[in-house]
Every structure is written in C-alpha cells, then in structure tokens.
Amino acid sequence: MANETCCAGCNRPNLPWAGRGTDLPIAGCRFTLYPMTDQFIDIILGALQKTDTSAVWSETDALSTVYRGRLPYVTDAVQALFLNAYRDGVHMALEGQFSKGCPGDVSGDSVLNREGEAPNAAAVEKIHFPVHCKLSLYPLGDADYIDQIAKVWYMAQDAGLNPVTIHYATRIEGDVQAVFRYLYQVCDLMDHTPTVHHYVLHFTMNCNSPTVEE
C-alpha cells in the first residue's frame, strides 16, 4: 500500500504524477498527539478507546496516525481523539495536516460509504477548553495561492478566533470546538474552490501550555 500512495514525496517510478490521482472525494488527516507527561501512552490509548473510528480508514506508525474518508468524518475522528485525550492541567499538543487532491493519491485506503451524523459528535460536544493554534495553508500548483490564504485569514477573523500573522503561520485562539469548526471550514472552502485542486492545511494546537505570554 505505502508504495502506491504519494504526496510531497512520491516514489512512483513513472514521472510525472500530475493527474494520476483519484477522482474520489477522499480527504485525509495525518496527525500526532503529544501529551507532555510520563503517562503519555495511557492518555493516547485511553483516547483511542473512547473514539469511534468506524467512519474512517486508519493507519498508525511510529510517527503519526492517518485517517482517510469523507472530510466531515475525518474531522470528527481527529477532534474526538484530541478531546477524549484532554486531562485537566496536562500540557498536550496535536500536530496534523489535512489534505485532499494530491495528484499521486490513490482510490483505496478510505471509507466513503458512510452517511448521517458523525459518530463522535454527540459524545464530545460538551467538552470545552481553550486552545492556542497555528496553521499554514498550502494551495498547491495555484499561482494565486496567496489569495486563498488571505481568504481564510479573514474567515478566522469573522469566526472570532483573533488571527495573528506570525512568521510562516497564522495563530488563532479560542474554544477547542470553535477551532476545529474553523479548520473544517477552511478545508471545506478549499474543496469548493475550483482553482484549488490540491491543498494541505498544517496545524498545531495545544492546551494547558506553561508558557506565559505577555
């Protein structure tokens, strides 16, 4: 499987790969959870046990986990995992990359026949805590990529997430539910932007940071 897929590092033998992706609506998120505590294994395994991943295809290795399927279910599963891992006072970060449309993507490794409400939505909707988040959006192969980036900056402003531009990223902050909703909306907007065939949205969020900001 691994040798048949591609993004940002293709290894298919026949160049070029452009246009050889899939027409299926497969979104994905590769992510890693970092609980900064000696109990990091318990926290990760405990969160996995609480999270319903039946609506996504999933694979884990020593560096990260990837979920693939329809965007709403991918987002639901990633969000639920982070929320289920939350413990009062424990500093924890989630790093991830949402992506869709890679020219080297394949039609497999996905769940696409799911319908209805996202399986974790009801279970986690009452979990609230503040997060810091940074994000970087990459609309690939589009000469006007900066316009897309600007658009989502204003979306963050409209969502009340106080966007601040920092070198190489945008910072936002707010309730974890609002931040995930925004990340979903950015991906959904890219999905519905005809000039963007392939996008990647990198994000990092954390909670209970011991760093005091001025």
Site for its own copies in 45-104 (CB under 8 A): 59-64, 66, 68, 91, 93, 95, 97, 99, 102-104
Count CA atoms closer than 13 A to 44's CA, side-chain side.
17
We find the least distance from the C-beta atom of residue 122 to its own copies, in angstroms, to be 28
- d(CA 55, CA 53) in angstroms, rounded, equals 5
With contacts defined by CB under 8 A, name the span among 48-56, 111-119, 187-195, 204-212 that binds its own copies.
204-212
Question: What's the token pair of residue 22?
Answer: 């899939």
Question: What's the token pair of residue 178?
Answer: 């609002």
- d(CA 94, CA 67) in angstroms, rounded, equals 14
With contacts defined by CB under 8 A, name the span among 30-38, 76-84, 121-129, 177-185 that binds its own copies.
30-38
H/E run at residue 191: helix 176-191
Nearer to its own copies, 28 or 119 (CB): 28
Regarding 18 and contact with its own copies (CB under 8 A), the answer is yes
Question: What's the token pair of residue 200?
Answer: 């990647």
We find the least distance from the C-beta atom of residue 111 to its own copies, in angstroms, to be 14
Options 6, 80, 81, 176; binder of its own copies; rule CB under 8 A: 6
Strands 130-139 and 164-166: unpaired
Decide if 97 contacts 134 (C-beta within 8 A).
no
Window 135 to 194, contacts with its own copies (CB under 8 A) = 135-138, 140-147, 149-150, 152-153, 156, 163-171
We find the least distance from the C-beta atom of residue 25 to its own copies, in angstroms, to be 15
